[in-house]
A = this chain, B = another copy of it.
Amino acid sequence: MKCRRCGKQAEIELRSHHTAFCRDCFKLYFLRQVKRAIKEQHMFSPRERILVAVSGGKDSLTLWHILLELGYNASGLFVDLKIGGFSEHAREKVEKFAQKRDAKLIIVDLEKEGIPIPKVVKKTGKEPCAICGQVKRYFFNRIAYEQKFHILATGHNLDDETSRLLANLLRWQMSYLVDQGPVLPPAYRLVKKVKPLYRLTEYEIAAYAFINNIDYFAGKCPFSKGATFLRYKHYINQIEYEFPGTKLDFYQGFLKKMKPFLTPFQREETTSSQVCPRCGYPTLAPLCGICRLKEEIEKAG
């Protein structure tokens, strides 16, 4: 197979685009997709300070790598979940990545916060992926706001976005659907959130990380085994394999044809200006979810 752009031997086949590229042309293609996402979705300008939420995995480190390469002012934020045999390896990769590029890295240590994930799961019996997502979201939002970043960027890819979209559509979770999209506008004490890799699949990101020697952590979280979101990824990948191009059509179609009708389903929180009396995080409850969680863990001892 030949590279569509230069005619040299192709190395990466992109079935969904009915095409293939050599390494150099794939890099160009990949960067173009990111630039297009940033531009078309009006994500940010070169003057804005960006906080990249990094887990140590291929998606978030590739995103940080590219933003730095493109000359953006991008710092990293790593939340150390304190999951033994997992978090320490991820943290090491993130620290090395930042050091090598002399980039600013902020670390939140959940041990110091009193809510390491394994302890929370053990004490509360809550579903690990749900609680972990909530805790990470909290610190991403809080640090981005308190440290005066303009933008919070995450490494969500097309597989993440479409599998979540499929799951939300199968159950018509309107309040979740309204929040889906590559850009979430700023709200009271919440900075604007963006997903510059939303046009690219996991496969494409892995290929890009590989050919750019991005040293990421490839381990799987021990809590994610059998997680529901992985099942929907499986289905969306099967469908994409059989009908190439479905993922991008599905997501773009949602943004263009359904999203405009979802405004009535907007949640109240996003427009309220009420805050948690302890930490200042926006919430409609007397205490925010994380301060309540901390209280629960303290009481459990």
A: residues with CB less than 8 A from B are: 169-172, 174, 228, 231, 235, 238-239, 242-243, 246, 249-250, 253-254, 256-258, 261
A234 to chain B, nearest CB (A): 9
- Tell whether, in the assembled complex, residue A172 and residue B258 are in contact, meaning their CB atoms are under 8 Å apart: yes
Question: Which residue, A171, A172, A242, has most C-beta atoms of chain B within 10 A?
Answer: A172
Q: A170-B249, A172-B249, A172-B253 are in contact. Are A238 and B235 (CB under 8 A)?
A: yes
The smallest C-beta distance from A125 to any residue of chain B, in angstroms, reads: 22
Select one of B172, B174, B231, B253 contacting A171, CB under 8 A.
B253
* B residues near A174, Cβ cutoff 8 Å: 257
A231 lies within 8 A of B235 (CB): no
Q: Is the CB of A171 within 8 A of B249?
A: yes
For A170, A171, A249, A250, which residue has the most chain B Cβ atoms within 10 angstroms? Answer: A170
**Closest residue to A256 on the B side, CB-wise?**
B172
Closest to A173 in B: B253
User: Cβ of A228: which chain B residues have Cβ within 8 Å of it?
Assistant: 243
A13 to B: closest C-beta gap in Å:
22
CA distance A260 to B253 in the complex (A): 18
Closest Cβ of chain B to A5, distance in Å, is: 28
Residues of B within 8 A of A242 (CB): 231
With both beta carbons as reference points, the residue of chain B lying nearest to A261 in the complex is identified as B261
Q: In the assembly, what is the distance between CA of A261 and CA of B265, in Å? A: 12
**Which 6 A-B pairs have CB atoms at the shortest separation, nearest pair first?**
A172-B253, A261-B261, A172-B257, A170-B250, A170-B246, A171-B249
- 21 A-B contacts (beta carbon < 8 Å): A169-B250, A170-B243, A170-B246, A170-B249, A170-B250, A171-B246, A171-B249, A171-B250, A171-B253, A172-B249, A172-B253, A172-B254, A172-B257, A174-B257, A228-B243, A231-B242, A231-B243, A235-B235, A235-B238, A235-B239, A261-B261
Nearest-neighbour CB distance to chain B for A241, whole angstroms, equals: 11
